[in-house]
């Protein structure tokens, strides 16, 4: 038994001596540093090399380089037996693109941070400073039994342009971001914490945005916003208040489920002046708009929306690429005012729009109720020509069908009142060119008229073809004269019974028929 204890003692002493030799001596330090270098550069060589590696029972001093330009330092006092640490660290990476083999993403610029590591295995504190993305930032990390239990961080004045540059993204915008956070549990199943983000002094880079998204932005597009984030088990919940120079966005709760990356959000978009959207839509609008809805993204994307607008309602649903809108009881007059087009008709409008946002093709079917023309150049021309006030007619039902092919809209319209019938067999509107070419066929008390409305949508030319009307007017006058002359000729013979004479009436009708052929 004594020999056994002596043998075990010798074995333990030899192992401790060997460990000391290989870990805590210059010879051992060189072996360890060489092994670590080899392992780091083995699969994805990044030029990692130790300039200095000293590990003893009470001291740690590490200096390393990446590709000769970036430096890492970790120095200070340690107690390996009680696992106490009092260390300082510094990371200075001059060129982040050198790390692409590790990050699997192209990064630009530099990164620098420094700080202290103090404590023991039960409670270890890491305090650091960094100028990441041009900011003035700090962070504090608490580890218990070498597991992260709490993270506090404050990033002040992150520059958006530097953030985009670092992430190898186009310079879409400039501005600043502040982020303050407290994460009390980083395990996804028990995730807990709060993050507050402020965005300010934001402005889009019109040149870059125009090139990337084929837009025609001209005026400055400014933005600012606040995002309050709550971290919950397997869930990130955001409340967003985002303001821009053209529209405001408010979200009470936008959640990201970390189990399946599902998104579920409400939203409210407020456009106080629709004309501020001109740069984006290349169309002039008048008025304001408030839109409320939801966004859901799992396997499919679904966006819904509702607006009380134009004295009616609009409800829509976007499912992946397919867009459907239902319009109820909006005012046609208010719609033309919003579009800044000349108003010519008042009515209630019900419509359904089916549209594919990828092919940019769709169909609009609409029904206009109790419509009336208002006094315009068109109604005045009809009045002067036919001695008929078109504005007094009521069209109980007007049917409209439009086919949309990108920004070209082809329509057909049919409408009837007690004394008129109006058909639009062909109407073409080009939203890009802002032009129209519309054929209108009218019947007024049995009289045929046709018109062509063409040119600029906002100031179209109206040309009326009155040949059939004038022909009918001429025939009517000829018939009146024939009847008058014949009756005067036979007045004495019939002794005043002209209107009751059947033969005379047949003669008059026969003579009239000659001119109708």
Q: What does the pLDDT look like over 316-363, one tens digit per residue?
A: 999 999 999 999 999 998 988 888 888 888 999 999 999 999 999 999
C-alpha distances out from residue 91 to 72, 110, 115, 133, Å: 5, 10, 9, 15
- By DSSP bridging, strand 111-120 and strand 124-130 are antiparallel
> Whole-angstrom Cα distance, residue 407 to residue 198?
39
DSSP 277: G
Q: Where are the domains of the chain?
A: 121-299, 310-465, 476-516
Quote the pLDDT of residue 489.
57
Quote the pLDDT of residue 499.
52
Question: Do 236 and 263 form a contact (C-beta atoms < 8 A)?
Answer: no
Average pLDDT over residues 24-45: 64
Query: Is the pLDDT score of 122 beyond 50?
Result: yes
Q: In this structure, how many other beta carbons lie within 10 angstroms of the beta carbon of residue 315?
A: 14
- Residues composing the chain: 517
pLDDT single digits (tens) 142-159: 998 888 889 999 999 999
Q: Please name every residue paired with 243 in a beta bridge, in sequence order, or none if there are none.
A: 224, 248
Half-sphere exposure of 39 (CA within 13 A, CB side): 6
Q: How far is CA 157 from the centre of its chain?
A: 26
DSSP 90: E
Burial class (CB in 10 A: 0-12, 13-18, 19+), 297: middle
Q: In this structure, how many other beta carbons lie within 10 angstroms of the beta carbon of residue 399?
A: 13
- pLDDT bucket at 514, cuts 50 / 70 / 90: very low
Which carries the bigger pLDDT value, residue 325 or residue 62?
325
Question: Do 498 and 508 form a contact (C-beta atoms < 8 A)?
Answer: no
Quote the pLDDT of residue 278.
87
**Pair of tokens at residue 171:** 């310079």
Question: Do 72 and 62 form a contact (C-beta atoms < 8 A)?
Answer: yes
Q: In this structure, how many other beta carbons lie within 10 angstroms of the beta carbon of residue 109?
A: 18
Quote the pLDDT of residue 13.
36
Phi/psi of residue 287, nearest 5 degrees: 110, -160
- pLDDT bucket at 53, cuts 50 / 70 / 90: confident
Quote the pLDDT of residue 230.
97
**Pair of tokens at residue 89:** 């660290």
Query: Is the pLDDT score of 35 beyond 80?
Result: no
Q: Please name every residue paired with 42 in a beta bridge, in sequence order, or none if there are none.
A: none
Query: Is the pLDDT score of 452 beyond 90?
Result: no
- pLDDT bucket at 483, cuts 50 / 70 / 90: low
> Whole-angstrom Cα distance, residue 363 to residue 410?
10
> Whole-angstrom Cα distance, residue 9 to residue 314?
87
**Pair of tokens at residue 434:** 């802002």
User: What is the 3 state secondary structure string of 307-356?
Assistant: EEECCEEEEEEEECCEEEEEEEEEEHHHHHHHCCCCCCEEEEEEEEEEEE
Query: What is the Cα Rg of the chain in Å?
Result: 41
pLDDT single digits (tens) 419-436: 888 899 988 989 888 898
Q: In the chain, what percentage of residues exceed pLDDT 70?
A: 81
């Amino acid at each position: 038994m004594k020999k056994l204890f002596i043998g075990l003692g010798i074995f333990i002493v030899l192992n401790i001596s060997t460990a000391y030799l290989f870990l805590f001596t210059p010879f051992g330090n060189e072996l360890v540093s060489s092994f670590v270098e080899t392992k780091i550069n083995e699969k994805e060589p990044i030029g990692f090399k130790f300039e200095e590696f000293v590990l003893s029972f009470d001291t740690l001093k590490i200096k390393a380089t990446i590709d000769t330009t970036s430096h890492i330092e970790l120095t200070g006092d340690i107690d390996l037996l009680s696992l106490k640490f009092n260390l300082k660290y510094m990371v200075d990476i001059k060129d982040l693109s050198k790390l692409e083999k590790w990050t699997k993403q192209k990064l630009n610029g530099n990164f620098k941070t420094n700080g202290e590591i103090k404590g023991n295995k039960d409670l270890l504190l890491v305090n650091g400073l960094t100028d990441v993305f041009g900011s003035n930032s700090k962070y504090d990390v608490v580890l218990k039994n070498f597991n992260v239990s709490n993270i506090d961080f404050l990033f002040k004045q992150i520059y958006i342009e530097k953030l985009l540059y670092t992430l190898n993204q186009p310079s879409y915008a400039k501005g600043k971001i502040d982020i303050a956070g407290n994460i009390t549990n980083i395990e996804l199943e028990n995730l807990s914490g709060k993050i507050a983000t402020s965005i300010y002094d934001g402005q889009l880079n019109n040149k870059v945005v125009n090139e990337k998204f084929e837009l025609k932005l001209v005026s400055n597009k400014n933005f600012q916003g606040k995002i309050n984030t709550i971290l919950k088990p397997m869930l990130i919940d955001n409340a967003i208040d985002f303001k821009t120079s053209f529209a405001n966005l408010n979200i009470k709760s936008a959640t990201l489920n970390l189990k399946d990356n599902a998104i579920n959000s409400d939203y409210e978009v407020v456009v106080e002046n629709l004309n501020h959207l001109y740069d984006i839509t290349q169309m002039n609008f008048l008025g304001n708009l408030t839109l409320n809805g939801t966004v859901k993204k799992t396997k499919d994307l679904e966006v819904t929306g509702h607006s009380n607008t134009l004295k009616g309602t609009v409800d829509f649903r976007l499912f992946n690429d397919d867009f459907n809108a239902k319009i109820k009881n909006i005012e046609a007059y208010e719609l033309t005012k919003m579009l800044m087009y000349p108003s010519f008709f008042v009515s209630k409008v019900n419509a359904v729009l089916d549209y594919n946002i990828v092919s940019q093709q769709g169909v609009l079917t609409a029904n206009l109720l109790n419509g009336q023309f208002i006094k315009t150049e068109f109604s005045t021309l009809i009045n002067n020509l036919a001695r008929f006030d078109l504005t007094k007619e009521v069209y109980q039902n007007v049917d409209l069908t439009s086919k949309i092919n990108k920004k070209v809209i082809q329509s057909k319209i049919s409408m009837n009142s007690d004394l008129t019938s109006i058909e639009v067999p062909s109407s073409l509107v080009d939203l890009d060119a802002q032009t129209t070419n519309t054929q209108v066929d009218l019947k007024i008390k049995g009289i045929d008229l046709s018109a062509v409305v063409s040119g600029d949508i906002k100031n179209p030319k109206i040309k009326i073809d009155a040949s059939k009307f004038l022909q009918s007017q001429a025939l009517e006058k000829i018939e009146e004269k024939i009847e008058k002359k014949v009756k005067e000729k036979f007045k004495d013979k019939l002794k005043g019974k002209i209107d009751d004479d059947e033969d005379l009436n047949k003669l008059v009708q026969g003579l009239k028929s000659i001119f109708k052929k």
